[in-house]
């Protein structure tokens, strides 16, 4: 019998293709699912979310082993891999679906997220106000199958090459000790 305990973290930080690629590489992360959260329409489609009419954010649901990676480590990577100072925007992606938001699943996650943002603010890490929202997790809807593991499946797609690959290189350089070993 497997007694391993896992927890769930949910982050929205722009395009889920990017965020999924980053978190998949981290030690202790068992699964990352791209999807939608925070809106009013049940079972939204990608097209509906992109139209900006559902209220959902593109997000990732991370299943992780807290004995191998702390929630605070996930927060650190989250804030290091997107711009938490731009409202409803990440680079050229504009709209509420690209907002920066943490969806907590426990009161401890809420407190950790609040403390982490306070620390970043107190140290003026970004030089601008952090606009990342912290909200109680609502229903998470997995995105369509073709969005799952997108970067790994499409590394030569122009968006992946121009936007995700340089960020992945930075992640590998700055967080090498937190990454899974390649076999």
In the set 15, 18, 50, 160, the catalytic residue is 15
- pLDDT higher than threshold 80 for residue 51: yes
d(CA 5, CA 3): 6
- pLDDT confidence of residue 3: 63
- pLDDT higher than threshold 60 for residue 183: no
- pLDDT confidence of residue 2: 54
54: number of CA atoms within 13 Å, CB side?
21
d(CA 43, CA 39): 10
Q: Is 15 a catalytic residue?
A: yes
pLDDT in tens, 62-100: 999 999 999 999 999 999 989 999 999 988 889 899 999
pLDDT in tens, 120-158: 999 999 999 999 999 999 999 999 999 999 999 999 999
What are the beta bridge partners of residue 35?
59, 142
**pTM of the full predicted structure?**
0.93
d(CA 18, CA 105): 22
């Amino acid at each position: 019998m497997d007694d391993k305990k896992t927890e769930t973290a949910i982050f929205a930080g722009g395009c889920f293709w990017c965020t999924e690629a980053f978190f998949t590489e981290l030690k202790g992360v068992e699964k990352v699912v791209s999807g939608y959260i925070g809106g009013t329409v049940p079972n939204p489609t990608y097209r509906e979310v992109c139209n900006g009419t559902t209220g959902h954010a593109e997000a990732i649901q991370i299943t992780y082993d807290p004995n191998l990676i702390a929630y605070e480590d996930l927060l650190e990577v989250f804030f290091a891999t997107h711009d938490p100072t731009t409202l409803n925007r990440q680079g050229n992606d504009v709209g509420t679906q690209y907002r920066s938001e943490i969806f907590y699943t426990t009161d401890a996650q809420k407190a950790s997220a609040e403390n982490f943002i306070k620390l970043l603010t107190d140290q003026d890490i970004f030089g601008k106000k952090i606009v990342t929202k912290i909200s109680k997790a609502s229903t998470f809807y997995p995105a369509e199958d073709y969005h799952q593991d997108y970067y790994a499946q499409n590394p030569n797609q122009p968006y992946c090459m121009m936007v995700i690959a340089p960020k992945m290189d930075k992640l590998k350089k700055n967080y090498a000790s937190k990454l899974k070993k390649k076999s």
